Structure formats: structure tokens, C-alpha cells
Amino acid sequence: MNIVSTAGFKNVWVLSLSSALAGSVIPLMVLVGSLVGAELAPTVTWATAPIALMILGTALAVIPVSSCMQALGRKKALWLFMSLGIVSCGLAMIALQLQSFTLFCITSLLLGTTNTALLQTRFAAMESVTIEHSATAASMVMGGGIIAAFVGPELAVMGAQLTDVSYQGSFLLAAACIALAASILSLFKSPPITAPVTQKTSTSTATLLRNPSFCLAIASGITAYVVMSFVMTGTPISMHHFHGHSLMDTKWVIQSHIAAMFLPSFIAPLLFKHFKIRGMMLLGLACYCTTIVIGFSDTSVSGFWLQLVLLGVGWNFLFIAGTSLLPSTHHEDDRFKAQAINDFTVFSFQAVAALSAGWAINLITWQQMLLGCLIPILMMVLILTWEGFKLSRTSAMNSRG
């Protein structure tokens, strides 16, 4: 019997399609946010502030969204935050009409909150099936990101000139797409809720951070998001404003990049079996280094396309590797604390990277921006080396004991 056709997987299909359609507003913002920011911001240095605030909103909303889902249930909470997404799109249209950079930034922050809720759909999918199929369920929901990768930028371009105000129609179409996603979510059947874990953690944050493997897991996530966000956020401005490539070409590059972030997930289990977690981290770093080499020498459309695709693949390898390593770095009772430290740290660094991209691209060249990405990559290599040394030393001490 095909597991993807069982009763529980009907929920997974619903969640996959619903989250993909609602989540299309995020790649739409990735394409449009910095372009609108460049027009509305008091200086072009703040052009990427909307993207940074969207990412910051994602980080800050983790605990409130989780609490809301526990109180209301997955379905009602998702409806609530999808409604917030629709309202946010309306506010974006008003901000564009008023040419208000401040209101547009507030909109971005709210869309980040909606994104946090949509990221929770993978947990809802895992709860809908038996534990042996949970990984497949999560992969199916994450795979919906490919749909969002193409739908979002298409909506941005289709609605760009739909009204007299540039990109106002893009957010109108995004609101309609979220409304469609909410209607599809009505087919979701909430699975039985198990009693939540209430046991408190006893391990301090300092103790967790003294574990080199825990630091490596966080570093992998930080490097994945910082480099990806820094390059991706600066790409629309670099391509469209500075290198004169068309909006259609820019859209295609962003679409390809976001698709490349999710497509490797379908073969990742095979790669992990062969290369192991730390080998996958090295593969991710190799993709990032190749991205820098290509971007440094080729600013054509094909050059941007290839470097952004490799950027997406590198992000996938590093993010999944860090996520896979994290559970083995702490006791079961500390999982909520460890996950909170990891997520907040990663998204906070991502927000800083997105915000600094606008500053950097107007102060230095695209090639110099790419060279700057070597800093987190080298830091990641140092942490990998430190962790390997610590593990070898511990193993040697245990063998002598």
C-alpha cells in the first residue's frame, strides 16, 4: 500500500498545498521587498530593511506562535495567522499607495509572523502520521516550498503593473493566494492531541554552549542562513539596479534559487548515508565557495543563475546537517531549550545579514560582498576543526580509561 495515500497522509497533502500557496508571499517579498525598499527608503542603504524585518519577525514570533498553536490547535492557529497574512498584504498595498517606508516595514514584520506559523505545518504533518512515516511527511511539506518558489515571484511580476502603483497588485494577488490556502486548510482533520511535555530542563545555557557539537550544529545553521540571506537579499538590487538585467531574468534567478533550496531534500537521505553529517557540512561549504568563485568572475544572467542555484543547494546541505546534528547534542529533557537557542540565534543572525546586505551593496561592489561571505565560512571551518579535535581527544581519553 502506498503510504502517501493513507488516511493520515491526506492531511499531509492538504498541509503541503495550503502552506505552499500561503507561503508564496515569502519569495514574493524576497523579490519585491528590496526593490520597493530601494524606492521608499530614505537612503538606499536601508533598501533591504523590509527583508531583514520579515526575518526578524520570523524569529521573534517563534514562542508566541507555538503557544497559540498549543492553545487553539494547529488548524485554528494557522487560520488566524493566515488571516494576519491577508491583513498584512492589505497594509502593504496601503503603504505603497502612501509611499510610506515605515508602514511597509511594519507589514514585513507581520509577514514574518505569518511565516513562523507556516513553518509549523511540518510538525502538524508529522503529528498526522505514525512515527515511522514522520520524516516523509515533513519532507512532503518542505517540498511544497518548490511551489511557493515559483508562485510567489510569478505573482510579483503579474501584479507589478496591475494598478497605477507599482507592485500594489502583487500584494493583492498574494492576499488572494493566502485566502485560497485557508480554504484548502478547511479539509485538514486535526489528529488526536497528546498531552504536552511539562518537565523542565535542568541544563543551563552555558553548559549547552560548552558542548562543541552543539556549537557546531548552531554554527551550521548560522552559516547556512547568513551566507544565503546576504547573497539572496542583495541579488535583486545587484541584478536589476546595478547590472541592468530585466525583472523577468531577476525573477527567474530567485525562483531557481528557492527551488534549489528544497529540491535536494528528496535525495538528502541518500547523501547523508554516504557522507555523514559532517561530510554534508563540508559539501555545503564547498557549494558556497563555488558560488563565490562564479559570482566573482561572472555577472551575466547565467552567472547569477548558477551561483544562486549553488547557494540554494549549499543552504540545504548545511541546514539539514545542522538540524540532524542538534538532537544528539543534548538530553531529551533539554530539547525545547536547545531548539529555542538554535532557532533564535540562527534567525537573528539571518536578520542582521539581510539588513547589512543593503548597506554593503551600496558601499562596496558585488564581488567584494561575495568575498565577505568567506568570513562565516572560515569561522565554520574553525568550529568544525575544533569540534573534531575535541571529539578525538575525548575518544582518546575514554580509550585510555
For residue range 90-105, list pLDDT tens digits in order.
Answer: 999 999 999 999 999 9
For residue range 182-217, list pLDDT tens digits in order.
Answer: 999 999 887 765 444 444 546 788 888 889 999 999
Report pLDDT for 313.
94
When computed from its CA atoms, the radius of gyration of the chain, rounded to whole angstroms, is 21
Report pLDDT for 377.
97
For residue range 240-267, list pLDDT tens digits in order.
Answer: 878 888 988 998 998 899 889 888 877 8
Q: Rounded distance, CA 336 to CA 393, Å? A: 29
Q: Rounded distance, CA 24 to CA 104, Å? A: 18
268-297 and 301-325 helices, crossing angle to 10°? 140
The C-alpha angle 118, 124, 129, rounded to 5 degrees, equals: 145
Do residues 87 and 69 touch, judged by C-beta distance below 8 A?
no
Give CA torsion, residues 310, 316, 319, 320, to 10 deg: -150
Q: Rounded distance, CA 92 to CA 146, Å? A: 24
What residue has cell string 546537517?
Answer: 321
Q: What is the mean pLDDT, run by run of 10 residues, along the chain of 401 residues? A: 56 89 91 86 81 86 81 90 96 95 94 89 76 65 80 90 90 96 91 51 78 94 93 86 86 87 78 86 96 92 95 90 81 73 82 80 87 95 93 77 58
Reported for 326-333, long-range contacts at CB under 8 A and 24+ positions apart, including other chains, are: 326/214, 326/217, 326/218, 328/213, 329/208, 329/211, 329/213, 329/214, 329/217, 330/203, 330/208, 330/211, 330/214, 331/203, 333/199, 333/200, 333/201, 333/202, 333/203
What single DSSP character describes residue 133?
A: G
What residue has cell string 491577508?
Answer: 86
Is pTM, for the whole model, over 0.85? no
Q: From the CB of residue 215, how many other CB atoms can be counted at a distance below 10 Å? A: 17
Q: Rounded distance, CA 19 to CA 122, Å? A: 9
Q: Rounded distance, CA 399 to CA 298, Å? A: 51
What single DSSP character describes residue 165?
A: S
The C-alpha angle 372, 233, 122, rounded to 5 degrees, equals: 115
Q: Which three cell numbers, joined as nine digits, stand for 26?
A: 515569502
